[in-house]
Amino acid sequence: MKKIALVWVWADLSVSLGKFYGSFNNILNVLGCYRNEMLAVHLVKTYCLASVLYGCEVWSITAYTLKRLSVAWNNVFRKIFNACWRESPRSLQFYCNCLPISYLIDQRRLLFWKKMITSDNVLLRALAKFCHGQIYAIGSKYNIVHPLLSSTYDVKRRIFAVFSNTVV
């Protein structure tokens, strides 16, 4: 019986982070100094975050890379809401119904593998079965007993609930 080796992509996000900051600065420039904060957050989530997290479902990232992503995402909230760099942006993220970057990556991974396991494609389902351990490890962080059987709404709700418990 042959073993199937899964290939995780080591992500170098230097170029993506540069584009993230460039897009973010363009959004702030267009909105001007009297901007609507919630509109700015929405635009950043739509245009900047999607581009920097593209493919994160299969990344194998180092703690350093995750920290760089977190710093970029946290700086967005500090800049939009004119907060001090020493202040935690968690309360701002909670107010805006946004998750920290590590939670977002975990959420996207769970939903990606959930789609794969329920796919009509036999190969995708077989591949997803080999990753059960990792999927359930991520799910256990958020008290999701069966992440592949839970609804998308339930996964998102549980992840946000765990995040909201960390906000002071």
Three-state SS for 121?
coil
Give the residue ranges of the chain where pLDDT is below 50: 1-7
pLDDT of residue 111: 92
> How far apart are the C-alpha atoms of 135 and 122, rounded to whole Å?
19
Which pLDDT score, from 0 to 100, does residue 93 have?
95
Residue 86: its pLDDT value, please? 86
- What residues have CB less than 8 Å from 114, skipping those under 6 apart? 147, 148, 150, 152, 155
- Angle at which helix 152-166 crosses helix 101-117, to 10 degrees, equals 160
